Structures are given as C-alpha cells and as structure tokens.
C-alpha cells in the first residue's frame, strides 16, 4: 500500500471545505426559494381564510433564516400562536426545524416546542412540497395546540 503524500491530504481537505461552503450557500438559497414560492403564498392564503373566523394572522421573514406565521386571539391584537420554520445554522441541506409557541389565554405563559419540520418529507423534497401541504401542517399544529389548551385541567 502506497503512503499518501501529505500535500494530497491537504488538497483534499481544502476541496472538502470548498464543497461544504458551496452546500451551505446553496442550502440558504434553497431556503429563500422555499420561503418565496411555498411558505409565503401558503401563509398569505391561510391568513386570508382565517379572517372569516375573526383571527388575524401575520407572517414575516427574519434575516433569511426563518419564516413565521403569527396567529392572534380572535378579535384581539394579542398574539396566541406562532408557527416558525427555520434553517439551522451551518445547514448543508434543507433539514428544516419547526418552532411552535402558543398560549391558552392572553395572560397565560407561552408554551414552546422545537421539532423537525414535516418529518415525512425528506430534505431534498422540501423545496417541492405544495403550499397546501404546508397549510395542512400549520392547521394540524394549531388544532392540536388549541384542543389541548381547551381541554387541559388547569
């Protein structure tokens, strides 16, 4: 077995670093596309529909690293529920995370949860999900939180 020259190992090291940097850049770009073409249209459609139920919702993007939809208590300016999709720092693929927080009443403390975003969809398919699939996920999380809040003993 021929011993590898240290120069070859050094070159391979820097080539790997370049590949990782390129992957990180592409992942950020893919997340921006996900936000623009899937998440924002989904959030806007859902916010429009929520008006029928007296629930105001607003969405926003934070420094290109997360996109959130905020629900407000019916006929109130107080926040009730947050659904936030974020790209973890130094990601080399679209393995997104979901941060959810909500409160039962205006005076209740916030309950928070951090979990994987739509687990059944692999990272390489996230950019291809339909906005309806995202809306379904938001509704499911909102429903679960609201049902738990309405049926909890405290």
Work out how many domains the chain is built from and give that number.
Answer: 1
For 10-32, the pLDDT digits (tens) are 999 999 999 999 999 999 999 99
> What percentage of residues in the chain have a pLDDT greater than 70?
97
Higher pLDDT residue, 151 or 117? 117
pLDDT at 89: 92
Per-residue pLDDT at 38: 97
In a domain, 93, yes or no: yes
36: its two tokens: 């623009």
Is position 11 within any domain?
yes
| pLDDT single digits (tens) 86-137 | 999 999 999 999 999 999 989 989 999 999 999 999 989 999 999 999 999 9
Q: Does residue 101 sit within a domain?
A: yes
CA 28, CA 110: separation in Å to the nearest integer? 29
| Beta bridge mates, 111 | 102
Q: Is 1 among the domain residues?
A: no
Burial of 142 (C-beta count, 10 Å sphere; 0-12/13-18/19+): buried
- Output the CA–CA distances (angstroms, integers) from residue 32 to 5, 24, 86, 94, in the order listed: 41, 13, 11, 11
Closest CA to 75 of 106, 100, 97: 106
DSSP letters spanning the chain: -PPPPHHHHHHHHHHHHHHHHHHHHHHHHHHHHHIIIIIHHHHHHHHHHHGGGT--EEEEEETTTEEEEEEE-TTSSSEEEEEEEE--TT-SS---EEEEEE-SSTTSPPEEEEEESSTTS-GGGGGG--HHHHHHHHHHHHHHHHHHHHH---
Q: In which domain, by residue range, is 108 found?
A: 6-151
């Amino acid at each position: 077995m021929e011993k590898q020259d240290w120069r070859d190992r050094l070159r391979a090291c820097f080539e790997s670093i370049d590949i990782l940097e390129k992957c990180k850049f592409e992942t950020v770009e893919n997340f921006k596309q996900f936000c623009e073409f899937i998440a924002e249209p989904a959030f806007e459609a859902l916010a429009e529909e929520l008006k029928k139920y007296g629930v105001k919702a607003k969405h926003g993007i934070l420094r290109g690293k997360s996109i959130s939809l905020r629900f407000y208590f019916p006929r109130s300016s107080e926040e009730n529920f947050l659904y936030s999709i974020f790209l973890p720092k130094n990601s080399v693929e679209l393995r997104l995370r979901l941060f959810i927080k909500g409160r039962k009443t205006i005076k209740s403390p916030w309950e928070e949860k951090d979990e994987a975003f739509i687990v059944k969809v692999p990272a390489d398919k996230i950019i291809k999900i339909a906005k309806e699939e995202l809306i379904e996920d938001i509704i499911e999380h909102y429903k679960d939180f609201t049902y738990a809040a309405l049926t909890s003993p405290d």
